[in-house]
Amino acid sequence: MAPEAAAPGAAAAATTAPAAVSRFDSVGHPGGGELLQSAVLGPDGRPRNVRVWLPPQYAKEPSARFPVVVMHAAAPRKTADAEVPDVFEGIGSALQSGKTRPFILVAPEAPNGTAHPCELVAAAPAAVADDAALRATVAASFRTLPPGPASWGTLGVEGGAPCAAAAGLARPDLYGAAAAVSGRYDAAALTQTGAEAPAGSAAKLLLAAAKADTAGLDAARKLQASLKAGPGPAAKADVRISDNVQDYTPDRERLRLVRQAAQFLAEALAKAS
């Protein structure tokens, strides 16, 4: 998943919605990178806040294009970094270790209308997974690699984990890898989601939880088993479980889990590209 030399127009050409360059304003420098924010149209046609974190390498390598990871939020009208404020430190730490190649993190505001947006994935997983306006705007506004499974992935932590799992299972033709951290899952609904994925593509999914999170690990194993026994593309999903993280506090464990998820996504997308 190494940055590649810029190819004019390549990113915009690969999108499925009209490209729209938005003005993104800088709002901070967490994790050694730069955090920007703008209003971008959502799937319902209404503007919503989108935050974009650029890794330190983005400014240092002006001719390079970068992979993208979309991070899902669990609360309406919030971006994921508001729920997981240490996410940038986790990713920045992974980059500093030298084991993770840089990527751009995109955090769109979750839709309103329900207290738990990720519970909607059982009813309409494709609506969560396919956000054409977001892909087009990010690809037109930043030096990204073209949207597609070789360079775009998805991430969810705790309440956002089911959204990431649904996105990866529903559209492996759009997202080459998905990482779901400390989540609780509707195994039957997500298995059906995986079964209805486009033919000819196989999802790559990491389900990670702390060693002491017995409920989270149980939910992950049930989803893994359900997918393996599921029909069609569901059974072809490459599902890995991480159960080895333990630390002194839940916050430190979450930081390590985010770092692990970043490493998984970087490695999976590097192989895809």
Mean pLDDT of 91-114: 85
Mean pLDDT of 28-40: 93
| Model confidence band, residue 199 (pLDDT cutoffs 50, 70, 90) | confident
Cα 258–Cα 259–Cα 265 angle in degrees, nearest 5 = 85
* pLDDT at residue 113, as a whole number: 65
Of 16-30, 52-66, 129-143, give the lowest mean pLDDT range: 16-30
Comparison of pLDDT for 269 and 116, the residue scoring more: 269
Report the chain's mean pLDDT, rounded to a whole number: 86
Mean pLDDT of 13-37: 77
| Percent of the chain residues topping a pLDDT of 90 | 61
* pLDDT at residue 122, as a whole number: 55
Report pTM.
0.89
Query: In terms of residues, how long is the chain?
Result: 273
Distance CA 153, CA 133 (A): 16
What residues form DSSP beta bridges with 152?
68
Identify the CA nearest to 197 among candidates 154, 246, 158, 237. 237
